[in-house]
Amino acid sequence: MSKVTDLLYKLISIPSINPAIGNKTELQGEARVAAYLKQYFESYGVDTTLEEVEPGRSNIIARFAPVDGRPRILFGPHMDTVGVEGMDSPFEADTRDGKIYGRGACDTKGPMASMICALLENKEALANSPVAIDFVGFVDEEFAQVGAKAFAEKYADDYIFALAGEPTECQIVHANRGSLWFTLEAQGVSTHSSTPHLGRNAINELSQAIQDLIAYGSDLEQYTNPILGQPTLSLAMIRGGEAFNQVPHSAELDVDMRITPEFLSQEGGAEKALKAIFSSHQHIEIKKYGHSAPLVTPTNLPILTHLMSSLGYSEAVTSPGCTDAAPLSAAGIPAITTGPGSIKTAHQIDEHIDIADLESGVDYFNKIIHSLSNYTA
Ligand SMILES: [Zn+2]
């Protein structure tokens, strides 16, 4: 078994389901992966620290060169995974037909293992290279990206570039739409269904808000971005009511939007946009909301042009999903997303990565390390 395969087997065997996904179980949280990586890096003599972001949840930073004022780049995969419902043995890596199966195989423990092996192969050279490269394992990419946000807030000034490690089939993803999700709650007044006029029907209230939302969703063309296209809006989940003979006192709707920089700038931010949509709805409350920024890293950024020409790439691509590249970039560290493996099996019950891709991923990051660590502006 090659070193990278061995490392991926180990990483898959350590559960790290995002704590925001599904019911609370002991399989949740990134702490075990972080602890394993810390001792792994330390066994190679790499200076490694854990930085707590939330109780029990720490980013890990492994520095391949001391902090001495030289420009720095970070390789940042995430340590969490999505849930494992429907999977037989999600934490027992299994090889069939040249593919490694298991939760995290491609998203993103496989790309992470490739990155780590390439960094360790270049350990001596990196200690003295003009540009330092650090490995940063983030918590919480699969939910609210609190790991990348906290890191960027603290260290944005230290870094000139970032690579979020994700399965992109080794393409360079430089742009993706951001996301905005929210839950609406319609508040009614409960009464017996035979006397509905004595109450207020929360489902009626919600359905009026839904009509407005559908109209709003069909009018998003004005926020089109030349690279990303237009925002979209999708009604995702609906809950409400208690019984046939009862006028419901509450009803809820979850909505997912994918947004462009134009949406945010013209609407004056996500929160303001939401308030405006529902300003005329007295009994509708935005119960919770969250958003992640869109990513548009210009392809003429000198360090990206340098990297692409070293790789012989003529184009960077866009992706439909969000990654940690967006919050890093929003906080001032220009970022891209890249790594071996295909996003097609990410989050699926048959998640896997081809061993050939995993191993050529090490060569790919080797080339990237040679290119970036010798970059001079
Ligand atoms: Zn991922």
Look at residue 269 in the predicted model and tell me its pLDDT: 82
Ligand 1 midpoint to CA 206 (Å): 34
Cβ pair 21, 82 in contact under 8 A: yes
> What pLDDT, on the 0 to 100 scale, is given for residue 231?
95
Give the pLDDT score at 322. 87
244: burial class by Cβ within 10 Å (0-12, 13-18, 19+)?
A: exposed
Q: What is the DSSP string of 221-238?
A: GGG-BTTTB--EEEEEEE
Find the 146 Cα to ligand 1 centroid distance in Å: 14
Report CA(197)–ligand 1 centroid distance (Å): 50
**Residues 167 and 340 sit within 8 Å (Cβ to Cβ):** yes
Query: Are the beta carbons of 139 and 59 closer than 8 angstroms?
Result: yes
CB-count exposure of residue 7 (10 Å: 0-12, 13-18, 19+): buried
What is the whole-number distance in angstroms between the Cα of residue 211 and the centre of ligand 1? 34
pLDDT tens string, the chain, 377 residues long: the values are 899 999 999 999 999 999 999 889 999 999 999 999 999 999 999 999 999 999 999 999 999 999 999 999 999 999 999 999 999 999 999 999 999 999 999 999 999 999 999 999 999 999 999 999 999 999 999 998 999 999 999 999 999 999 999 999 999 999 999 999 999 999 999 999 999 999 999 999 999 999 999 999 999 999 999 999 999 999 999 999 999 999 999 999 999 999 999 999 998 888 888 888 888 899 999 998 888 889 999 999 999 999 999 999 999 999 988 899 999 999 999 999 999 999 999 999 999 999 999 999 999 999 999 999 999 87
Pairwise CA distance, residues 27 & 339, whole Å: 26
Measure 54 CA to ligand 1 centroid, in angstroms.
20
* Ion ligand 1, residues whose Cβ is below 5 A away: 107-108, 166
Query: How far from chain centre, in Å, is Cα 185?
Result: 27
Residues 250 and 252: their CA atoms lie apart, in Å, by: 7
The predicted structure's pLDDT at residue 273: 83
The CA 142 to ligand 1 mean position distance, Å, reads 7
Note the helical H segments in the chain. 3-12, 31-43, 109-121, 123-127, 146-155, 202-217, 261-267, 270-277, 302-311, 325-330, 355-373
Burial of 124 (0-12, 13-18, 19+ CB in 10 A): exposed
CA of 168 to the centre of ligand 1 (A): 10
CA of 270 to the centre of ligand 1 (A): 24
Q: How far is the CA of 201 from the centre of ligand 1 (A)?
A: 41
Neighbours of 334 (CB within 10 A): 18
Nearest to 151 by CA among 134, 168, 174, 170: 134
CA of 343 from ligand 1 middle (Å) equals 8
Q: What is the pLDDT of residue 291?
A: 85
Q: Which pTM value belongs to this model?
A: 0.89
Whole-angstrom distance, CA of residue 52 vs CA of residue 31: 10
Tell me how far the alpha carbon of residue 12 lies from the centroid of ligand 1, in angstroms. 14
Distance 344 CA to ligand 1 centre (A): 12
Which pLDDT score, from 0 to 100, does residue 324 have? 96
Q: What is the pLDDT of residue 275?
A: 85
Instruction: Return d(Cα 153, Cα 141) in angstroms, integer.
Output: 16
